Structure 1
């Protein structure tokens, strides 16, 4: 044991002495011009290092530098700027005049992906072959240069989008390592802030660069993200994603396969592929086991009662609201795309749909939804539509076909008063500007036919209202409360939508004791209603036979009007009864007069 310890101690002393001698004998500044020329020879970029290079021995033999920049030819800004650079080098290759860099580490770097940092040729400059004599190393042709690892720490990436806006990725931590077969492992984390929203993410995976630049393939094992900020759920949107990515230089084809995405309680999987040659092509094929748009969009139920309950969402401060833009600038105008998505479960504004299928195409800004259908409880829906974003305004056209959907959740979803329940069927055609609910309430037009089965007016029983008014006006008439049902077997109407006003015509409804007709309008912008019904109660009466017969055949005017928060109604039964009594009195007076003349 003592001999082993002595041997190890001697080995440590020899290594320490060798490293000390190497540090003393080899000046790292000898590599400065050589590295700069090698970088320029291999990439064309100019590398500048300020200050002296110096050794750093523990815990890794490294070369430290001061400020460094990397600038493309003709660019006005460097593509990379770093206050500090560290080169971790291998010891043994130095003995044979080889600079083998295990890792390049940049701390506090700024990476500019902007037009100012791009390679640019001088105006009018001819294209000439590179003069290789200018790139010859005077340090010695027997030196070689090799990098296996790259690391960025606490860095910033400035990314300029095609429209000129810049995105800043802050707190960038990136590490990449590759072996001699060009198999790469990478780890990346950063934070992106925009419009008071913050996206934090991290990912890791592997990449096969053995056939680069002809093709690349990568596998993202797991990426985690969290999006928070105004107009989002309080807990934000967070989840995980993994996928396999591929790139083929011929035709600039790309693919994302085996996508597995979670976002809060939503889960999506599928594939995306496309081509960037000429006019970009995009093909999306997805499947969602559950897609909860309410939790993703920050919508939640508010209000305690069924009549007042509505959907609300957290509102962003004014500064965070995006500016109204010309839809002609939409990226959809620059691509062709197809979309096919199957949703086992879809939740939207408090409603749940099952087996939802969506097939859509986009051709230079004209979106066509050839199929958008699904089921809900005992009902189903179909919403074929087209959306045109080629002009200044987004133009929407949709032909709804709803069958036996619960009307109460629909009214609540569109922020309308929940005064009806039953199974709704709708067939129609609508069109207008904008895609939001507010746009539909203000700038859409169209017509539709409405049918409602087992319709019931919440808080309103027309039969009971008329019978009670009749008893108060005339004690000779009574009613059967058990027959005073407020449910209509069917209720139908034709509707016209014009810039937020729904005009209802030819309202027809009936049950076993009542029939009604009517017309009116609903103003969605001012949240008011004005509907006039003519209600005929044919059953449930007792008492004076002549008066009952008269009420059974006479339509009673019933008007419902006012704001949604405080509606009012008027029932003109007293005037009708007084008119009937007057007519009856006149009839008896004429009979008495005729009897006197004959006598």
Structure 2
């Protein structure tokens, strides 16, 4: 026993003498020039070690390094690419004999990294590989490959595998600054702290980090923790219990809380991720949360999301409603190399509006978006809160407030009608897709079985087709909006067939003046999408063909009877009848241009009447000026059952004036009387010719002329 103790004492004495000799005879600071030279050869940069290098012997052999700097080339804003104030590293010696590398705690204090890209594209990271050499070394030719074959030792069985462990890593008060003079951007990390607990391949360890920084005016901070496992063969890694919390703020944005949690992560296996974000952006505040199943394939080429669900509550004056509830459910796959996201199953809701289908997104300078969506019902009026505007406008209003309200509305209208919509988004998208809607309502017009196809590319919106059922008829439309010029231009075509006009007018314009089955063809174009410019600049034609209808608000047969009574100096017999004029067909071509809609071929036919007219209406002032001529062309009972055979040859001129909301209909008495005088003069000439044939020279007798005049006056009075 005594010998064993003496042997141990001897070993300790030898170790102490060895350490003492090492401290006395070997100064680690003498290696500074050698270290700097080797770093310069490897990186082409100067390494400056200002602090001392000192040995450490407890609890393991290692060393401490003081302030150290890796220099930048001349011309950059800071002298150093990287630097630190203090670094520590130690290694246990005895385990090395058993192929075990046990590294003590690695500590780095006050580390800093500075990266800059100049306006000419040169970066202080260029040439760090050491390949850009100069001088004699750069001019020396490459050495000829050796032809001497080195004898390889025969394998002696399986070589032992080194086992590596690390007591921990601590990085405290590190910082970084990244400047890009080309892009005019700057990102700074004011503080970065990181810690890793005891680490060994094949064993779980814990890691935490904390970061504070800024990007331009945006200040951010984040903290997180996780558990980490590195495979024993160092060829894979796993995470679990990951949590991440961050916030960011600048002059207009405030992301107060962003939280992400991940239960576990391993390549090729599904993970569960949950998140929540609360904050505010200009004119909008939001709270959102979501969850999904996540998998990254082992080749790290695709990311799969399964059963992703996201919900958000948003508030803001810029929204169509003060508050909105938004929901999204989808399966998705993202191809990393292509930058392509595919959503084969997608369902999105905004309050009561819901759409479903599939979509894709291609990341590019101008994103490429494709979609094919459908919805059972979309009520735009209910969504925007405009569905009851017309009804409320027809209800009674306080007469004391009408003037004030009207003046305010007029002022707002004057401001808004001259404002062009912002179509800049059309220059930022490459979009194409289809949408199908079972029931659709907009501007109080009802449609069903709606299908549309549209594209947006290079600043041009194109509605290649819109088809729907509309009030017992059909509609087919196309439209183009080109926003590439100073002001947008547009072209619209509509083909409406078999539509019941009256219920459409009642819903859209609260006007029941016209009824019938209608075909309408619209072909218009113009410049400017502000309401005022549309009215002033729209040009084109509107072709109308109606059948089996009526014009409400005017009873033309009744006006004919009044006209006949007027010519006779009598008063027409009053008959209680509905104020409408039936017709079997109506046609007109309306020409649009210079703020005016005009026609010269208005034609309305019925078995009894022929109506033709011409005139115009101002699209700007909404005034009407039409002249309509009505003729009786049959000898039958007229509308209302009154006999009007006696006026079968009479044409009644009617003036339509006023405005769109309150048109007025009146007889043109001047034209009527002129027509009566012309008929009387024509009849007078015919009677005189008849008398001459019958009586010869006696027809010139004054008594015979008086008798003929009396007969004619009885006919026209």
Please state if 1:207 is matched with 2:294. Answer: yes
Determine if contact 2:109/2:174 at 8 Å carries over to the other structure.
no
Residues 211, 317 of structure 1: alpha-carbon distance in 2 compared, 3 angstrom cutoff: farther
**What corresponds to 2:496 in structure 1?**
402
| More divergent stretch after superposition (513-522 vs 453-462) | 453-462
CA deviation profile, 1:48-76 (whole Å, cap 9, x unmatched): xxxxxxxxxxxxxxx99999976546596
Which blocks of at least 5 consecutive residues in structure 1 are unaligned?
A: 1-28, 42-62, 118-143, 159-165
Structure 1 length-normalised TM: 0.68
Please state if 1:177 is matched with 2:265. Answer: no
User: 1:235 Cα deviation (Å)?
Assistant: 5.2
CA deviation profile, 1:405-425 (whole Å, cap 9, x unmatched): 243465577769653233331
CA deviation profile, 1:255-301 (whole Å, cap 9, x unmatched): 22311111232210111114335764332111122222223444323
Q: Which secondary structure does the structure 2 equivalent of 1:526 belong to?
A: coil
Q: Which secondary structure does the structure 1 equivalent of 2:484 belong to?
A: coil
Please state if 1:339 is matched with 2:433. Answer: yes
Q: How far apart are the structure 1 equivalents of 2:106 and 2:554?
A: 89
Determine if contact 2:361/2:368 at 8 Å carries over to the other structure.
yes
| More divergent stretch after superposition (31-40 vs 257-266) | 31-40
Please state if 1:526 is matched with 2:526. Answer: no
Residues 274, 501 of structure 1: alpha-carbon distance in 2 compared, 3 angstrom cutoff: same
Task: Give the one of 276, 299, 305 matched to 1:218.
Answer: 305
Task: Give the one of 340, 359, 379 matched to 1:272.
Answer: 359
CA RMSD of aligned residues (A): 5.2
**What corresponds to 1:553 in structure 2?**
649
| More divergent stretch after superposition (394-403 vs 579-588) | 579-588
Residues 510, 583 of structure 1: alpha-carbon distance in 2 compared, 3 angstrom cutoff: closer
User: 1:401 Cα deviation (Å)?
Assistant: 0.7
Q: How far apart are the structure 2 equivalents of 1:201 and 1:362?
A: 29
Q: Which has the larger radius of gyration?
A: 2
Determine if contact 1:173/1:190 at 8 Å carries over to the other structure.
yes
Q: How far apart are the structure 2 equivalents of 1:575 and 1:320?
A: 44
User: 1:516 Cα deviation (Å)?
Assistant: 0.8
**What corresponds to 1:286 in structure 2?**
373
User: 1:147 Cα deviation (Å)?
Assistant: 8.4
Determine if contact 1:189/1:203 at 8 Å carries over to the other structure.
no
Structure 2 length-normalised TM: 0.58
User: 1:332 Cα deviation (Å)?
Assistant: 3.5
Residues 563, 180 of structure 1: alpha-carbon distance in 2 compared, 3 angstrom cutoff: closer
Please state if 1:596 is matched with 2:684. Answer: no
**What corresponds to 2:537 in structure 1?**
443
**What corresponds to 1:21 in structure 2?**
none
1:84-99 matches, cutoff 5 A? 93=198
**What corresponds to 1:569 in structure 2?**
665
Residues 423, 353 of structure 1: alpha-carbon distance in 2 compared, 3 angstrom cutoff: same
Determine if contact 1:103/1:151 at 8 Å carries over to the other structure.
no
Determine if contact 2:110/2:173 at 8 Å carries over to the other structure.
no
**What corresponds to 1:501 in structure 2?**
596
User: 1:525 Cα deviation (Å)?
Assistant: 1.8
**What corresponds to 2:584 in structure 1?**
489
CA deviation profile, 1:490-519 (whole Å, cap 9, x unmatched): 211001111442112200112333221111
**What corresponds to 1:356 in structure 2?**
450
User: 1:566 Cα deviation (Å)?
Assistant: 4.3
Task: Give the one of 574, 588, 608 matched to 1:513.
Answer: 608
Q: How far apart are the structure 2 equivalents of 1:501 and 1:149?
A: 68
Q: Which secondary structure does the structure 2 equivalent of 1:448 belong to?
A: strand
CA deviation profile, 1:522-550 (whole Å, cap 9, x unmatched): 222212111211122455469xx9x9556
User: 1:214 Cα deviation (Å)?
Assistant: 2.6
**What corresponds to 1:258 in structure 2?**
345
Residues 36, 386 of structure 1: alpha-carbon distance in 2 compared, 3 angstrom cutoff: farther
1:108-257 matches, cutoff 5 A? 112=215, 148-152=241-245, 155-156=247-248, 168-181=253-266, 183=271, 185-194=273-282, 196-209=283-296, 211=298, 214-219=301-306, 221-230=308-317, 232-234=319-321, 236-257=323-344
User: 1:33 Cα deviation (Å)?
Assistant: 5.5
Q: Which secondary structure does the structure 1 equivalent of 2:486 belong to?
A: coil
Q: How many residues align?
A: 503
Q: How far apart are the structure 2 equivalents of 1:316 and 1:230?
A: 17
CA deviation profile, 1:285-338 (whole Å, cap 9, x unmatched): 1112222222344432324499999xx9x99999999985885xx344455432
User: 1:445 Cα deviation (Å)?
Assistant: 1.1
User: 1:379 Cα deviation (Å)?
Assistant: 0.6
Q: How far apart are the structure 2 equivalents of 1:359 and 1:228?
A: 31
Q: Which secondary structure does the structure 1 equivalent of 2:266 belong to?
A: coil
User: 1:366 Cα deviation (Å)?
Assistant: 3.5
Determine if contact 1:112/1:157 at 8 Å carries over to the other structure.
no
Q: Which secondary structure does the structure 2 equivalent of 1:299 belong to?
A: coil
1:68-87 matches, cutoff 5 A? 71-72=177-178, 77-78=186-187
Q: Which secondary structure does the structure 2 equivalent of 1:486 belong to?
A: strand
Q: How far apart are the structure 2 equivalents of 1:483 and 1:146?
A: 82
Q: How far apart are the structure 2 equivalents of 1:416 and 1:499?
A: 27
Residues 374, 179 of structure 1: alpha-carbon distance in 2 compared, 3 angstrom cutoff: same
